[in-house]
């Protein structure tokens, strides 16, 4: 938006901004605002040449003169305003950023909560739980009097054979969920790669979507 320059503001009913003497290089950005080089009345370089300063004008500018400048630019008072043009490099960069977001989502999901069922109880089956049950099995089972806590915070007595059976179920649950995550992230990346609209790439929502997960 326009910055404070210790310059007088135009009267409320002015149809122009009197202290702006020239505007050049006006162009829209991707948000619809207009950036331009502005010459203010009396502002010159040391050698007397006109001094232009960068400004951004918007329809919702907090100042009256900012709104008026935006209106003047849109109306063509200072010449044509260049349209916002998406370059191939910008589209590629947007897709790369979205791919990185998808990778972050994938990593988060892979480290998220997974559950499985065994003998009527629900157990956590994430990586941490899998590592824990591996250690217990390697040690020969739970110590006397120690129970395994399920996902609903119930303490369950599990024999070594129970632990081994639960371990296998955990591995299967992790593999199934991992497959779903991999397939979803691959599908999202394919959808991103197929997009040709810059805004569509930026607005693409990463997640499970309507897959029911």
pLDDT tens, the chain, 213 aa long: 444 333 333 334 344 555 788 899 999 988 889 999 988 888 888 888 888 999 899 999 888 888 889 999 999 999 999 999 899 999 999 999 999 999 999 999 999 999 999 999 999 999 999 999 999 999 999 999 999 999 999 999 999 999 999 999 999 999 999 999 999 999 999 999 999 999 999 999 999 987 656
Could you tell me the residue range of the domain that residue 78 belongs to? 1-85
Residue 193 lies in a domain: yes
Predicted structure pTM score: 0.69
The full DSSP string for the chain is -PPP-S-PPPPTT-SS-TTEEEEEEEEE-TTS-EEEEEEEEEEE-TTSPEEEEEEEE-TT-SSHHHHHHHHHHHHTTTSPPBPP---HHHHHHHHHHHHHHHHHHHHHHHTS--EEEETTEEEE-SHHHHHHHHHHHHTTSPPTT--EE-TTS-EE---HHHHHHHHHHHHHHHHHHHHHHHHHHHHHHHHHHH---HHHHHHPPPS-TTS--
Residue 208 lies in a domain: no
Domain shared by 192 and 115, yes or no: yes
Residue 209 lies in a domain: no
Domain shared by 92 and 194, yes or no: yes
Domain shared by 145 and 42, yes or no: no
Structurally, the chain folds into a number of domains equal to 2
């Amino acid at each position: 938006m326009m910055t404070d320059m210790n310059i007088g503001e135009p009267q409320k009913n002015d149809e122009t901004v009197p202290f702006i003497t020239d505007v050049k290089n006006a162009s829209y950005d991707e948000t619809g605002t207009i950036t331009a080089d502005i010459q203010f009345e009396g502002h010159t370089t040391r050698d007397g040449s006109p001094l232009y300063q960068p400004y951004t004008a918007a329809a919702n500018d907090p100042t009256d003169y900012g709104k008026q400048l935006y209106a003047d630019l849109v109306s063509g008072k200072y010449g044509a305003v260049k349209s916002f043009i998406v370059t191939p490099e910008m589209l590629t960069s947007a897709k790369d950023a979205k791919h990185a977001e998808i990778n972050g989502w994938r990593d988060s999901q892979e480290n998220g909560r997974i559950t499985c069922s065994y003998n009527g109880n629900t157990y956590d089956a994430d990586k941490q739980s899998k590592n824990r049950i591996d250690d217990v099995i390697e040690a020969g089972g739970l110590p006397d009097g120690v129970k395994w806590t399920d996902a609903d915070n119930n303490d369950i007595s599990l024999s070594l054979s129970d632990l081994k059976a639960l371990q296998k179920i955990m591995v299967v649950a992790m593999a199934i969920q991992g497959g779903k995550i991999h397939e979803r992230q691959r599908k999202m990346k394919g959808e991103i790669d197929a997009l040709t609209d810059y805004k569509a790439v930026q607005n693409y929502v990463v997640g499970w979507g309507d897959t029911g997960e």
